Amino acid sequence: MAGVEAALERLGLTLPAVVPPVAAYQPAVRSGDYVYVSGQLPMVGGELAATGKVGAEVDVERAYELARICALNGIAAIASIADLDEVARIVKVTGFVASAPGFIEQPKVINGASELLGDVFAEAREADGRRSGEAGRHARSAVGVAELPLGAPVEVDLVAELRPTAKMRLV
Amino acid sequence: MAGVEAALERLGLTLPAVVPPVAAYQPAVRSGDYVYVSGQLPMVGGELAATGKVGAEVDVERAYELARICALNGIAAIASIADLDEVARIVKVTGFVASAPGFIEQPKVINGASELLGDVFAEAREADGRRSGEAGRHARSAVGVAELPLGAPVEVDLVAELRPTAKMRLV
Amino acid sequence: MAGVEAALERLGLTLPAVVPPVAAYQPAVRSGDYVYVSGQLPMVGGELAATGKVGAEVDVERAYELARICALNGIAAIASIADLDEVARIVKVTGFVASAPGFIEQPKVINGASELLGDVFAEAREADGRRSGEAGRHARSAVGVAELPLGAPVEVDLVAELRPTAKMRLV
């Protein structure tokens, strides 16, 4: 058993159902060999796993876990329109952290997303042999914002590059 | 009469003059088959249609209208460097909402931009027959920020994909 | 002597060492003919040149200088994975300004980044003759955020397009 879904399983992760957009857009869009993933909130089973500001109601360890959930939802969004094993690399991650005044550890929070993406795609490569060791290593911006939709503490969007030969999944 | 400009007319919309950048950048830049549109403010006739924070001075219905104006200005920015009928799809929209403390309805606000883009490009397709029904359906992030340029309540940027055969408009 | 590094020298700028990421990501990632540069802070010699909010502890003139440093660090990040003379254009700049309440001059701040990029790549073109005058002219968004990593007043990320023939630098 190989590939990204197997890697998720070995890491003890279950790919969730894709989170329906809160509004008039798509969870993910393919353009050429790229997938643009919409801002993902830490939704679990249709509800936010937490609300509040990081540095106040939500501590940095919990926020790290929430960023992992955002990234997992992002992988689910990619899977809704493409074959995960055709992901050549995660190119860019942008992490928005709803920050209490004076909270400046946004990088530690968004590491939850970065490390999950690194783990999942590195695991897939080891079992698979096809995948570049760079698949999960991405450029990133992390910033502290005033408020996020529904009161979410974290929002993460990303851009993934597919192999040139990747076919669209028929849906 | 077909195409995007006709669709705008049927929707009762007039494409404004492109908004000159506030500073040292371009309203839109073409790179390969993509157009990157700079962050658009809700400018009408050279002035902001409103200022203030959404959830305080500006309510969500008004902010929705302002996001529509941002998107219309974004379409004008695309039109300044490419033929609108060569837009294959809007790929990504990022919406920044200047948010009063506790305002968490950023998605409702940015729907103003998303729905306008959907309406314009879907209308164009129906009349035209050439255009994919997906042309206006995009990935999106919406976040609540502390302050926006000139005191604007909303700022929207976007990435559009052109058909591979699209030619640059001579200017 | 020609090219981007010579242009930097004529402008009195020294390309710094690439700033190591604060966390689990890369300073820059190449994907096809694009380089995605991670959010750059105004680091000088491994330390932030300043901390605090623009409009409070940091004035707009100082913030402009800090945005220049962010851009210079961004050029260093590109140089760590590609030949600067193969940059066809800077496509998009996103500037995040940690803003005190009521500070709405984000464009003046991020002009520090935009103008540096324009100067460096325009200078390179004049000496070189090969480069398009558009190389430094980019799309841009500038927003005011609540907090930035480590207390930085400014963060800038960017996307650069390489010439189609550009080769990756062996590292």
The pLDDT assigned to B170 comes to 44
- Nearest CA of chain C to the CA of B158: how many Å? 10
Question: For residue range B134-166, what is the model confidence (pLDDT) as tens digits?
Answer: 778 899 999 999 999 999 999 999 999 999 865
Residue C20: exposure state from Cβ atoms within 10 A (0-12, 13-18, ≥19): exposed
Higher-confidence position of B130 and B123? B123
Residue A171 pLDDT class (50, 70, 90 cuts): very low
CA max distance for chain C: 47
Contact A146 B93 (CB under 8 A): no
Residue B132, pLDDT above cutoff 60: no
The pLDDT assigned to C86 comes to 92
The pLDDT assigned to A47 comes to 95
Residue A129, pLDDT above cutoff 80: no
The pLDDT assigned to B171 comes to 39
The pLDDT assigned to A114 comes to 96
Best B141, B145, B157, B162 member to test A by mutation, with max A CBs in 10 Å, is B141
Best A18, A19, A22, A25 member to test B by mutation, with max B CBs in 10 Å, is A25
Question: For residue range A68-101, what is the model confidence (pLDDT) as tens digits?
Answer: 999 999 999 999 999 999 999 999 999 999 999 9
Integer Cα distance of B87 and B159 in angstroms = 11
| Helices and strands counted in chain B (H then E) | 3, 7
Question: For residue range B1-52, what is the model confidence (pLDDT) as tens digits?
Answer: 468 888 888 888 888 889 888 777 999 999 999 999 999 999 999 999 999 9
C128: amino acid identity, one letter = D
Task: Delimit the domains of chain B by residue range.
Answer: 4-162
Full-model pTM: 0.92
- Nearest CA of chain C to the CA of A109: how many Å? 10
Query: What's the mean per-residue pLDDT of chain C?
Result: 89
- Dihedral (C-alpha) C4, C10, C13, C16: value to the nearest 10 degrees? 40
Integer Cα distance of B98 and B152 in angstroms = 7
The pLDDT assigned to B157 comes to 97
Question: For residue range C116-134, what is the model confidence (pLDDT) as tens digits?
Answer: 999 898 766 666 555 555 7
Residue B98, pLDDT above cutoff 80: yes
Which chain B residue is nearest to residue A31, measuring alpha carbons? B91
Best B89, B96, B143 member to test A by mutation, with max A CBs in 10 Å, is B143
Query: What's the mean per-residue pLDDT of chain A?
Result: 89
Percent of chain B exceeding pLDDT 70 equals 87
Question: For residue range C59-106, what is the model confidence (pLDDT) as tens digits?
Answer: 999 999 999 999 999 999 999 999 999 999 999 999 999 999 999 999
Query: What's the mean per-residue pLDDT of chain B?
Result: 89
Q: Token pair for residue A144?
A: 């502290």
Residue A102, pLDDT above cutoff 80: yes
- Nearest CA of chain A to the CA of C40: how many Å? 8
Residue C39, pLDDT above cutoff 50: yes
Contact A145 B145 (CB under 8 A): yes
- Nearest CA of chain B to the CA of A26: how many Å? 5
Comparing CB atoms, the residue among B33, B92, B111 nearest residue A23 is: B111
Chain B positions touching C122 (Cβ under 8 A) are none
Closest CA to B60 of B149, B153, B125, B164: B153
Residue C171, pLDDT above cutoff 50: no
Chain A positions touching C24 (Cβ under 8 A) are 111, 114-115, 118
The pLDDT assigned to C133 comes to 56
Chain A positions touching C147 (Cβ under 8 A) are 97, 99, 101-104, 106, 143-144
Contact B139 A94 (CB under 8 A): no
Percent of chain A exceeding pLDDT 70 equals 88
The pLDDT assigned to C127 comes to 61
User: What residues of B are in the C interface, CB distance below 8 Å?
Assistant: 21-29, 31-32, 36-39, 94, 96, 98, 145-151, 155, 157
Higher-confidence position of C167 and C149? C149
The pLDDT assigned to B65 comes to 97
Closest CA to C115 of C161, C72, C77, C170: C72
Chain B positions touching A39 (Cβ under 8 A) are 140-143
Contact C155 A139 (CB under 8 A): no
Q: Token pair for residue C54?
A: 């623009």
- CB contacts < 8 A, B to C, total 89
Integer Cα distance of C34 and B165 in angstroms = 20
Average pLDDT over residues B118-128: 74
Comparing CB atoms, the residue among C93, C111, C146 nearest residue B146 is: C146
Q: Token pair for residue B132?
A: 């994919």
Residue A170, pLDDT above cutoff 50: no
Residue A21, pLDDT above cutoff 60: yes
**CATH architecture of the domain covering B4-162:** 2-Layer Sandwich (3.30)
Comparing CB atoms, the residue among B25, B94, B151 nearest residue C137 is: B25
Neighbour tally for A88: CB within 10 Å: 20
Chain B positions touching C116 (Cβ under 8 A) are none
Comparing CB atoms, the residue among A33, A104, A138 nearest residue C29 is: A138
Fold of the CATH domain A3-162: 60s Ribosomal Protein L30; Chain: A; (3.30.1330)
Residue C170 pLDDT class (50, 70, 90 cuts): very low
Average pLDDT over residues B114-140: 77
